[in-house]
Amino acid sequence: MSFESLGSDGEDEIKIDLGKYSGDRNEKEERHGEGKAVLPNGDEYQGQYQNGRRHGFGKYKFVSKKAR
């Protein structure tokens, strides 16, 4: 998560890195419909979204990490 100043109005905005996304969006530019996301940690989700959230059927692939 990063903090970014918006400048002249004195308000701050919190930006959360949701990774890379390709797929459908709604009129608010939210993830909506079918899409694929690659999260910052390398996990992947391919499936359905509704109003910016995973919803319905989809497949989540976890990055495997070796035990130390």
Q: What's residue 2's pLDDT? A: 46
| Beta strands in 1-68, from DSSP E residues, in sequence order | 2-5, 12-15, 20-25, 31-38, 44-50, 53-61
Question: What is the percent of the chain where pLDDT is above 70?
Answer: 79
Beta bridge partners, 47, equal 35, 58
Residue among 40, 34, 27 nearest 59 (CA): 34
By the 8 A CB rule, do 21 and 37 touch? Answer: yes
In the chain, the amino acid numbered 38 is V
Task: Specify the pTM.
Answer: 0.70
Question: What is the percent of the chain where pLDDT is above 90?
Answer: 65
By the 8 A CB rule, do 38 and 44 touch? Answer: yes
